Structure 1
Amino acid sequence: MKVRKFISVLLLAVFLVSGMIFPGGVSAQDTDIMVTMFSAMSGATKLDQVPRNEKFNLLVMFENRSGKEIRDLKVTLDQESSAFYIADGIPTLYDIPVTENAGNFMLANMMHKGSGNKVVLIFEYTKDGQEEQKAVKSFYINVDSSTPGVPGDQYTLSMDPVLEISENYKIPTIQGGSDVELLFPVSNISLYTALDVKISLDLGELSKYITISDLKQIKKFSTIAPRKTESVLFKGYVSKIIEPGVYPVTLKYEFSNITQKTFQTSETVNIRITNTFTKPDTEINNVKIDRDKPAIGQEVKLTMNITNKGSSDARDALVFLEDYEDDGFVIKNAANQVNIGTLAGGASKTVEFVLLKVKDGSSGIVSMRVKTDYKDENGTPYSKNHTVIPPFATGTVTASSGELKIESLSAPSEDIEVGNEFTVYVKVNNIGATTTKNVKVSVNPEGVIIPKSLSIITIDSISPGQTKEFNFKLSPQNGAATKNYAIPVTVEYDVDRGSGAAKESLTRYVGVNVLNERSKVKTVPKIIIDNYGFDSETVNAGSEFNLNLSFLNTSKEVDTKNIKVTIISPDGSFTPVASSNTFYIEAIASGEAVERQIKLYAKPDMTTKSYQITAKLQYEDENGVQDEETGRQYEAEEIISIPIYQEPRIQVNDLSLPYQAFIGNPVYVYTDFYNMGRSAVNNLLVTLEGDFTGEGLSYFAGNFNQGSSDYFEATIIPNKEGECSARLILTFEDEMGNQSELVKEYTFTAVQNQPMEPGDVKDVWQEYPGEDGMIVEPPAGNKKWLIIGLSAAGLIVIVVLILVIRKRKIKKKGMTEDEEV
């Protein structure tokens, strides 16, 4: 309990009698600061010996012996050198008043470490305008060795520094394929300094995609002071092939405290990855030959373009030509492999194979397989097979049934641009001796190539020796890639086998080169929240606020439309005002941003910290195409951090000042104060200033939790006659470090103190007439007893006042009188 300043003079007399002033414990040197008295206290009770297992307060009085003005004084308990530490609070007291070259202060909640009895105080101050002056004072306190020591590791645990990411940390967004700076604000949220700090970053699964380029991958700090924040920066490069999303990374902390105890802790935070680059992905297009009707023994040069439709490099790329023997060809010089090295994103290279015709093919339609092997920039291997159909002229083919044959099958050899039409020509001949019936000819291209005419043509019959021609109009759509597409053509029919009608069919392929300039670099549209803000820097709990959001389409080529945004508060801390939590955006063009605003309400019981909400997005690309993998709309989630501020509410009762006081006489003043808000305040300091001197004019309450109450008391001595002013000032910091000040002003009147003369006793006595109404002289000898009586009455008043205040404070703290004692 805080010492009662109004009886400090009486306590000082007791200290003198009981030997609590130890000249031997104070430095004998005549330095700037001299400790004149110190005492261990439990409430208002002095302790002859300090228990080893209980908290106590230390009252210290000092004098300025420098002969010059001392100001801006702060005192720190050197917890490393002392046998004591601050069990609950801050070991430094700031702005201790030095009045008439003297002052006093109270170190609260001290506790014994378990051995020793030395106290070391560090005084720092400004002397005669010179800053950074310092004096170190040591003295010793009697310790009760009969009490049990501090159990276990309580002392070292109580001095543990705590490092963690600052509440102001916002999830960074980094772009794939770029240099990156990862900045982490690391705060020491404890009351104790962290020493020899080492901070490293464990990227986890991101280590495959992010390379830290700093030479020093462990960041070192000699100290991180209490309630201070250091910026920890890591530089690196992000791979182009990383998948977008939110990834966890781990910060690892190594540090020690002032007792050299070491700590190893870690913390997981998130980072957001966006990426407009895509993985390497090869396609074959522009398949050409220099001879469309090679004879046996002739060479054919087969050329094709290998295109990387991804936007990141395909490295160590190899191209293999396979499945060509059945079509009557061999590779000249056995070179069926071409090494094209690195194929950049969106780039193409032409490869050439020299084929030698050695026989007629079994199918008559040349279909070959091309395999591409390559690696991404992380060394991950890929292998992809492609079917190509070189544009050879179709020769005579014997149908599988022996009746029908596809005499010719052709498509344009030039590139077909998306959106344009082309025609596939099919000629079917009956080479058998039986009429074929129910003949059906159809084309079944991939979904990106659609028929522009009937895709199925049916005729009743084809007689022996008869030839029929069919043609189909097709068109590649915007979703088609630049590559060689194989289009299957199927002929189905019925033929009489004598024992009944039999169904027969045959399928052949024709190749067509499709050109889509926009598909050279395939991109998937990505929408992110690139910026958001509020009406002010922070949002007050229990208030409405506007959340301003900016939605960016990161794709450089693909527009988006039909965008649905849903705002979700996982813990229900935020609710929309006069609207639903969903809104609609018609479209966002490539590379463009659209802003929207939603009004939200923050619950009143929220504490001062950052809360998260989620924005869920669903959308389509410009063609109404949805996610090819899921078949649903594209989806994305963005996390938004909202800093909530719970405004502190400190209430102070009026100061108990008298209407009139005497100059030079001490006056006891008192007030209560309360934390009526929903959050704690830190570094609460109460000071009283005005036209007076006194004791206990400042009180450091430290951390003041929600619902707490405390009191301030002091003894003031008026030093001027007439109307005097008094200012009660409470300064404190909220949980975000913002400083506030609460000031209450008062006035009272001070008059000269008139000493009582011996003749005054007579005057007082003569105010009371005798029984007969006559003025009676005071009896001889009664003057002395009257003075003694008046003094005793005054003393009784003081004692009664002490007891009343004592009982009042005991009641306020919920204690019994026995517990107080």
Structure 2
Amino acid sequence: MAGSKKFYNNVLKVFSALVLTLAIMLNSVGISKLYVVKADYVTTWGAISTVFDATPGEKLHIEVEVKMTDLNYSTNQGSVSAVVKPGDGAPFRSTTATLSKGSITDKNAIAITSYDPTKISADIDIFENAKIGQYPAEIAISFTGYDSMSDQMITSASIPITINVSQEKAAAQLSVSDVKYDTSKAVVGGAFDLSFNVKNDGEIKALNVYQSVEYGDTGMAPNYSTENIKVGDIAGGSSKSQTVSIKVLPTAEAGYKTLTLKFTYKDSTGNTYEVSRNIYVTIAKQAEAKTGDARLIAYSDSLNDSVTVNSKYKLSLTIENLGEKKAKDVKVSLPDEGGIGVSSGILADFSGSSLNVNDIAAGDVANISIPLYITTAASSGLKEIAVNVTYKSADSNTAVTATTKAYITVLETKQSEIKNDVRITDVTQLPDLPRPGEKVTLTFNVTNNGSGKISNLTLKGLDLSSSTFEPVNADGSVAVGAIEKGASKKVSMTFKVGSAAAEGMGTLKLALNYKDEKGNAQTEEASMYVLNIQKSAAEATPTPEPVLINNISISNISQSPSNPEAGSEVTVSFKITNKGTDIAKNLEIGGTDLSTSTFEPVSSEAMKQLGSLEAGESRDVVMTFKVGKDAPEGFGQLRLGYTYYDKNGALQSGTTAINIIGITNSGSKNSKPRLIISEYSTDSEALVAGSEFNLSFTIRNTHATKAAKNITVGVSQAEGIFTTTTGSDTIYIAEIRPGEEFTATLPMKTKNDAATGLYEIKIHDEYEYDDMSQVDAEAGGVKEDNTIKLNAIENARPVVQNINIGAGMDTPTEGTSIAMAFDFYNMGKSTLNNVYATVSGDFSLDSSEMFYIGSVTAGNSVIDNEPSVIPAFAGTCSGVLTIHYEDSNGNEKTVDFDIPATEVMPVADFGGMDFGGGDFG
């Protein structure tokens, strides 16, 4: 079959070449002009509209009937194709169209004629971010045809069309809500999980969303290894639940902290967007041990040290005893599953399974170093290392283990080219206001930012003149000497401002001459800027009195508790700073606009007296208020007013606002129940594609006083990987009382062609409650989504057919290499990676231990594989062909196929006859 196809293709190639050669010959002798392109060979059939109304984000069906414009024009049957192409700014991509003629849909049976219509149809995807307007486009038609009037071949035509977009979708806009964390774990030296929902408040899908967290000077650090976390696609109006693990450093200060979430995403045309959202977290001090036992916590200062392969590294660890008794038998170990071992290329560089540490008394701290060896097998990138600290309390024989994690970055192992890069930074000048003819001294850091040590570094002024700067020594240079890679040296150079230098900013150019680590001479140029050059003394005018600036600023805000209840007290702490140019006298600050619906005073003292603040001076302030009994849940603004007298005795005043977050109000009419998924499970450990299973999940009402009623629970999965097997995918629950739970079970099925992966399942809750707010009542109740994740496992289907020893032609002979043919098919729905074959039994591969096939995408095949095999003996031989492959997670799988019994001939024996050297006369 394969041979006949090859023969047909070769004949077709020869025929095409002959036709093309004939066309060139005819053209060269001037018989005719060939392959003429003309737009009006084809026109629409009848008076039909070529304006199509489109909606952003939806498919637009285009259908046009066409014909040849003249009886003299014709096209060859089967030669016609059409593509809908966008004009300038049109919001879609080129799309292949289909052809039909009445009931005929086979392209190879269709030609465009002048006497009956040919229908051209296409479904084009309009971009979600399409703007209102009318856009030009065309149906580009290609064919092989003939113009009998001019005796010319014709090849193409075009039908102009217009795409009309009359509405727009709101742009994607990401927001963050439902921020939650365990306050008991958000403590100095601890770690906690921060969860939140990322919602797309727009209508356009946000594609390829990534998130990262900026920790700044909060004293917190990531407890995960991937800096940019993939969120995926978020459709308009949809949200995704995210959780990140955060480590609180032992050096962190307790208080109210601001974390910045950064999101990057794209729209359907590839435009990239970036947005930041703030999340507020309160860090508490580490609680004292509540028992008389020893209590160790461990933390590592190694957050992201850089290491190279084939090197030794000491990981620093601090162990603190927060208990009331001595900790004994303290041992530090590195678990194999925690990033240490042959597979990771990072090894413990000490003997034994652990390091012994001296006893740690109550309240004491021990600092130790853990020797590691980074082998050449270590891959580059960020690595997470787990550390276990095992100990016993002084009067106990029960071992307790504390665990922490450290992070190091293994640098690229490739030898990089020498990079020469000397930089000048942190420039300061003296005096601040130099005049022409005066000396100015510039002090700055010279940093070796290259790949190796440099030596004999000299800095010299360039282009010195009376209109710029002039040297004050013989050559205007200074010797710096050697600088190690990554190191800096502070340097000072003095020049004279040129007598004709212009007022304002002047540019001083420097030549940087040095030798690189190979001894080669290098030269770079750098520029520094001398600021505030004044007029010459003769031109100078008296300096005016400085303008008085009044500015009071509030920063470093924190609150306690983190979730204040309406009617209870909340304490705010902040720093107040005089950022003005002179003293602020008799400074007072206090709450304004206080009421039961916002915040209330806790004493009759209206204002807090702070005295005087010099310019630049700061003072810490602590104030307590009561959350109003009618305060809404969520966050509220506490407005503060302040007054003071400036240096001229004038009264100054201002207002500011502090956001108090996490307010709860069980008595508020707006308070409503909150349903969460507290746990979930399946009755099957492996959710294989095509299999059925039961999904159980527990719904908990977290509200203290209100019940959720008339509850409808639904389940959905965006890609359809998991679906219910019953007629309905919803469950009705009459009521879940405050603090109570309800466990539901749904029969589910994994999609037949599911690829291995972790998939999100949305659990939709709709419910009512007593005294519903007007907003919820008008919406028909509360609608909430909870997200869980299940892991599907693909059902791979590698198939081998037509195994044939000798390919039907050669005779298998004992101990002699012969081809074994077989066809390989991937009949599953996922790519099979790194496919190779091995042979066992009575056959062996001739030249290697494996026959490599490669990666085979779903639905494709590799036929006519012909590895060479050797039969082990004469007679009937059989064996096994084993197919090896990697699934989508990189795990190797194998499938065996029987090699059919094959008769093998013995090696020919000619009985010692000698056929050489005879005389055949």
- From the two aligned structures, give the one with the greater helix fraction: 1
Give the TM bin, normalised by the shorter chain.
Answer: 0.3 to 0.5
Question: TM (normalized to structure 1)?
Answer: 0.35
Q: Which has the higher contact order (CA 8 A, sep 6+)?
A: 1
Question: TM (normalized to structure 2)?
Answer: 0.32
